[in-house]
Chains A and B, each alone.
Chain A
Amino acid sequence: MNSQDMSGFPLELQGETVPMVSFRKVTKSYGNLVVMDSLDLDIAEGEMVTIIGPSGSGKTTVLRMLMTLETINGGVIYVDGKPLTHMPDGNGLVHANDRYLRRMRSKIGMCFQHFNLFPHMTALENCMEGPVHVLGLSKKEARERSEELLAMVGMADKRNQHPSRLSGGQQQRVAIARAMAMRPKVMLFDEVTSALDPEVIGEVTNVIRKLVAEHHLTMLMVTHQMGFAKDISDRVCFFYGGRIEEQGAPEELFGNPRRERTQQFLSAVKEAI
């Protein structure tokens, strides 16, 4: 994995419009199983990109690679113009060490399908943990910031509750506030409504709508909520077999899909509804 030729990858992205996130020929495999096949994907600053596709198509892997939860086997991911998975060493790129990863990772936040709140901390403590212990904010500052965010997601009155006392939708809203408290430039949403009862999905999607409207964030979202994806996205990517099969503006991709696999997937999803 160290032997790959890194000469085609710049130390830094330059130009008029540097994308906030850039996947360049990114490959990920487990043994012989290739889950991501030379992915090229640029996401502009402030852009909301949604990834859809059948299960096993590599949707979630895209987010996990960007959050550095998965190491990649080839290519380079850039964030904010700088390499994320690699770091400059002399005139070339080498695999990023932990210190470099920690610095770069601070630009990215993530919400998970199963919320992953810390069960032994209250909603407020969950939100304050990162700001206090990673960003070095004072407890007072972190509390103010967290309370503001909990109010934004409509959870101010539950701030002293532990996750076990909250519904799934409430937990996911706290998780969004927790990720936002780190002031990331890029937010990742990994099937954040998939584990929720249908009647509470709206409370989470509404929070995400609010984020899109009020914050200039770059967002990458994996979802099965096609209607929501259509409403909110600037661009939709349809993944199939570890590759982008088709991408485009939501009205285009949903209204007039060109590729056969996209058509099949979308009609299968429609039937399910």
Chain B
Amino acid sequence: MFDWRWDFTWDILPRLIVATGNTLLAAGLGYAIAVVLGLAFALAQRTPYRAVTVVVREAVEFVRSTPLVLQIFFVFYVGPQFGLRLSPWTAGMIAIGLHYAAYLSEVYRGGLESVPKGQWEAATSLNLSTARTYFRVIIPQALPPSLAGMGNYLVGILKDTPMLSVIGVAELMHTANAIGSETYRFLEPYTLVGIIFLLISLPTATGIRLFEAWMRRKLGMI
């Protein structure tokens, strides 16, 4: 009943390994965008300009309340109507980067709010500028409590990269689908994709925990 073919498995493995590179690239790029943009969103919600905070807060809420796959379709297929013609990769990175930026901004917000008010007051008493206060005093302290949440979303974005297959980004899922439609064999490609995701996710999660501990030590917090 279990028709697993090893020769076929070895045949398709190289193709899937190449696609794994694309998956890692997509997750890495998307996450890099999300990390930076998410911080910008979080900081924007703390400015004294009410218009800015309201617009950003609503935008974040909007992104968090709609499905990622819809956002990917939207950027890729609706974008051209507004003169925004993007390659699948670019559209995919914008969509997934924005999506996770919205989630990360909430993680940062929690981290930023966990820094005691006295730290702000000390920075003011030393006359540090607002930008310096953020980058030298507040963000370094907001980071350790944010790391666990950030790590969860790193694994999350990795697992969401298959969504990019819907607009033709040649990552793992897309490649497995292609193999399936060429050969009518789905057991091996999909099983391999699952194993590959597992082999990436588990060490990533462990790595994040180690990094978090290292960071706390380095910042003198334990």
Chain A residues 168-183 with CB under 8 Å of chain B are 178-179, 182
* Residues in chain A near residue B219, CB distance under 8 A: 119-120
Once the chains bind, are A182 and B126 in contact (CB under 8 Å)? yes
Residue A244 is within 8 A (CB to CB) of chain B in the complex = no
B128: shortest Cβ distance to chain A, in Å? Answer: 6
Q: How large is the interface on A (under 10, 10 to 19, 20 to 34, 35 or more residues)?
A: 20 to 34
CB atoms of B129 and A122 under 8 A apart: no
Assess whether B1 is interfacial by the CB under 8 Å rule: no
Contact B119 A112 (CB under 8 A): no
Sampled A-B contacts (8; CB under 8 Å): A108-B125, A112-B118, A118-B141, A120-B141, A120-B220, A134-B128, A162-B220, A162-B221
Q: Label chain A's interface by main secondary structure.
A: loop
Report how far A130 CA is from B128 CA in the complex, Å.
7
Complex Cα distance A91/B122, Å? 34
B87 contacts the other chain (Cβ, under 8 Å)?
no
B105-137, CB under 8 A of A: which get 1 and which 0?
Answer: 000000000001011011011111100100011
Interface membership of A263, Cβ < 8 A: no
Is B210 part of the binding interface, using a Cβ–Cβ cutoff of 8 Å? no
In the A-B complex, the 7 residue pairs with the smallest Cβ-Cβ separation, listed nearest first, are A162-B220, A116-B122, A120-B219, A130-B126, A116-B118, A110-B125, A120-B140
Given contacts A112-B121, A112-B122, A133-B136, contact A119 B127 (CB under 8 A): no
Interface size of B as a range: 20 to 34
How close is B217's CB to chain A, nearest CB, in angstroms? Answer: 10
B-chain residues with CB within 8 Å of residue A117 when the two chains form the complex: 122
The total of Cβ contacts below 8 Å across the A-B interface reads 69
Task: Say whether A116 contacts B127, CB under 8 Å.
Answer: no
* Nearest-Cβ distance from residue A63 to partner chain B, whole angstroms: 10
Please measure, in the bound complex, the distance between the C-alpha atom of A214 and the C-alpha atom of B26, giving whole angstroms.
63
> Chain A interface (Cβ within 8 Å of chain B)?
67-69, 102, 105-106, 108-110, 112, 114, 116-122, 129-130, 133-134, 162-165, 178-179, 182
Given contact pairs A162-B220, A164-B220, A164-B221, A118 touches B122 in the complex (Cβ within 8 A): yes
> Are B118 and A67 in contact, CB atoms less than 8 angstroms apart?
no
- Once the chains bind, are A122 and B220 in contact (CB under 8 Å)? yes
- Write the B161-199 contact mask toward A (1 if CB under 8 angstroms, else 0): 000000000000000000000000000000000000000
Contact A134 B127, CB 8 Å, known A119-B221, A164-B222 = yes
Task: For residue A137, give the distance in angstroms from its CB to the closest CB of chain B.
Answer: 13
